[in-house]
Structure formats: C-alpha cells, structure tokens
C-alpha cells in the first residue's frame, strides 16, 4: 500500500488482490484525493478520469499500472468524514439505550468504526446491567 501523503490527486494505492489467497491476477485499488473526487464527481464518463489516476500512479509506482486489462471507476460521494466527533459514541442521558456509532466517531476509517462499535456495545452492556428489573 502506498500513501499519497500530500499528493494533490492520489490518496492511496493498494494491491487489493493481496487480501485474498491465490488471486487469479493482480487487482489494484486507487483512491483519489477528496479534492480530485469533488472536481470530477459529476463527470458523465468516468473512464478517462480513472485512466488519469492510473497514469498519475504509474509515474512513481510502475508503468504497468497504466495498462490495465480491466478498469472500473466508482464515485464515493460520502466517503470521508469531514469533521469527526471527538467521542467514541453519540448518546443522550435521557435515552441511554439509544446510541449512535460509526467511523465518524473519533476518526474516518474502519478502525474508528470498530472502536466506536465496541464502545457502543460496552455502553449498552452497562445499561443492561444497571437498569432496574421488574
């Protein structure tokens, strides 16, 4: 996985096929920067946009990236959290058994989503233990 860091167009590039045992062929996933995605969000034909990203990645990573056997481009309109909540869950003392959790609680990726889900489960568990039985 290669991170774009401050690259204006590329957020990261990953060898997605490495997630599976015995992949038939290499599969590469490229995520553009949010600025690049916003600029191209309403473009009708996404194929040239994907080709441009591949060409941008090919320069530092290898020219074979610019010659894919197959390419698919997705819009990911609500992909990134702009302003994460600085708490693991969203809750209200008036309705303690209703909790909101997700990647927007404390971060913007799957690690934040998992931590937030675990925090929500712990809070619900606490509520179940403390509520009066009857």
Ligand X SMILES: Cc1cc2nc3c(=O)[nH]c(=O)nc-3n(C[C@H](O)[C@H](O)[C@H](O)COP(=O)(O)OP(=O)(O)OC[C@H]3O[C@@H](n4cnc5c(N)ncnc54)[C@H](O)[C@@H]3O)c2cc1C
**Contacting positions for ligand X (CB under 6 A):** 76, 79, 102-103, 109-111, 113
Q: For residue 78, with 0-12 CB atoms within 10 Å meaning exposed, 13-18 middle and 19 or more buried, which class applies?
A: exposed
Of 24, 31, 48, the closest CA to residue 109 belongs to 31
> Looking at beta carbons only, is 77 or 129 nearer to ligand X?
77
Residue 22: left if φ>0, alpha if ψ -120 to 50, beta else—which one? left
In the complex, minimum distance from the CB of residue 112 to ligand X, in angstroms, rounded to a whole number: 7
Distance CA 32, CA 43 (A): 15
In the complex, minimum distance from the CB of residue 131 to ligand X, in angstroms, rounded to a whole number: 25
Q: Which two tokens stand for residue 45?
A: 């034909």
In the complex, minimum distance from the CB of residue 44 to ligand X, in angstroms, rounded to a whole number: 21
In the complex, minimum distance from the CB of residue 96 to ligand X, in angstroms, rounded to a whole number: 21
Residue 31: left if φ>0, alpha if ψ -120 to 50, beta else—which one? beta
């Amino acid at each position: 996985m290669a991170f774009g860091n401050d690259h204006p167009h590329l957020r990261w590039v990953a060898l997605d096929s490495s997630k599976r045992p015995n992949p038939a062929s290499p599969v590469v996933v490229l995520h553009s920067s949010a600025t690049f995605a916003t600029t191209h969000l309403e473009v009708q034909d996404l194929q040239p946009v994907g080709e441009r990203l591949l060409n941008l990645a090919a320069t530092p990573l290898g020219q074979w990236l610019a010659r894919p056997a197959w390419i698919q481009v997705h819009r990911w309109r609500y992909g990134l959290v702009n302003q994460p909540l600085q708490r693991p869950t969203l809750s209200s003392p008036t309705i303690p058994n209703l909790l909101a959790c997700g990647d927007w609680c404390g971060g913007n990726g799957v690690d934040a989503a998992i931590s937030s889900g675990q925090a929500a489960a712990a809070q619900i568990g606490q509520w179940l233990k403390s509520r009066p039985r009857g």
